[in-house]
Chains A and B, each alone.
Chain A
Amino acid sequence: MTEKICPIKNWVPLDRAFHAVSALPQGSPRMILVHGSPGLGKTTAVGRLHLRHQGAYAYASTTWTKKSFLVKLAGRLGVTLRRKDTADAVLDAIFEKIETLQDGLIVIDEFDRISRSAGLVELVREIHDVSGIPIAVVGMDTIAKDLEAFPQFDQRIGERVEFKQVDIEDARSIATARCSVGVTDDLLAALLDRSGGVIRLLVTELAQVQATGLRDAIETVGLADMGI
Chain B
Amino acid sequence: MPRTEGAIVTRPYLSSARAYAWARMRRMHKLDRDFSITEIVEHLERRGVECERSNTRVYVKALLMAGVLETVANGRNGKPGRFRLVRDLGTLPPVEREDGNGITDPNALRKPRVCTTPMPGTGRALIWKAVRVFGQRRAVFTANDVHLLVDGGDRPVSLNAIHRYLRTLTLSGHLSTNGRKPPEFRVLHDSGPLNPILRDDGDVYDPNEQVVYPCEVPA
Cα A59 to Cα B139 with chains together (Å): 11
Cα A44 to Cα B126 with chains together (Å): 15
Let me know if B208 and A51 touch, CB within 8 A: no
Cα A85 to Cα B136 with chains together (Å): 23
The smallest beta-carbon distance between B20 and chain A, in angstroms, is 34
Say yes or no: is A50 at the interface (Cβ < 8 Å to chain B): yes
Cα A50 to Cα B137 with chains together (Å): 14
Let me know if B208 and A44 touch, CB within 8 A: no
Chain A 28-63 interface residues, beta-carbon cutoff 8 Å to B: 43-44, 47-48, 50-52, 57-59
Say yes or no: is B218 at the interface (Cβ < 8 Å to chain A): no
Known: A57-B132, A57-B136. 17 other contacts (CB 8 A): A3-B159, A5-B147, A5-B152, A43-B137, A47-B130, A47-B133, A48-B148, A51-B126, A51-B129, A51-B130, A51-B133, A51-B149, A52-B153, A59-B136, A59-B137, A76-B136, A77-B193
Q: What residues of chain A lie closer than 8 Å to B149, measured between beta carbons?
A: 44, 47-48, 51
Q: What residues of chain A lie closer than 8 Å to B126, measured between beta carbons?
A: 51
Cα A87 to Cα B120 with chains together (Å): 29
Q: What residues of chain A lie closer than 8 Å to B132, measured between beta carbons?
A: 57, 76
> Which 4 pairs of residues, A with B, have the shortest CB-CB distance?
A3-B144, A78-B193, A59-B136, A5-B151
Chain A residues within CB distance 8 Å of chain B:
3, 5, 7, 43-44, 47-48, 50-52, 57-59, 75-78, 109
Q: What residues of chain B lie closer than 8 Å to A47, measured between beta carbons?
A: 130, 133, 149
Nearest residue, chain A, Cβ from B136: A59
Let me know if A78 and B150 touch, CB within 8 A: no
Chain B 150-167: CB-based contact to A (< 8 A → 1; otherwise 0): 111100000100000000
Say yes or no: is B194 at the interface (Cβ < 8 Å to chain A): yes
Cα A37 to Cα B151 with chains together (Å): 25
Q: What residues of chain A lie closer than 8 Å to B81, measured between beta carbons?
A: none
Let me know if A50 and B129 touch, CB within 8 A: yes
Chain B 10-46: CB-based contact to A (< 8 A → 1; otherwise 0): 0000000000000000000000000000000000000
The smallest beta-carbon distance between B174 and chain A, in angstroms, is 15
Say yes or no: is B80 at the interface (Cβ < 8 Å to chain A): no
Let me know if A7 and B136 touch, CB within 8 A: no
Say yes or no: is B75 at the interface (Cβ < 8 Å to chain A): no
Say yes or no: is B214 at the interface (Cβ < 8 Å to chain A): no
Let me know if B133 and A57 touch, CB within 8 A: yes
Q: What residues of chain B lie closer than 8 Å to A57, measured between beta carbons?
A: 132-133, 136
The smallest beta-carbon distance between B127 and chain A, in angstroms, is 9
Say yes or no: is B192 at the interface (Cβ < 8 Å to chain A): yes
Let me know if A75 and B133 touch, CB within 8 A: no
Known contacts A52-B153, A57-B133, A78 near B147 by CB under 8 Å: no
The smallest beta-carbon distance between B129 and chain A, in angstroms, is 5
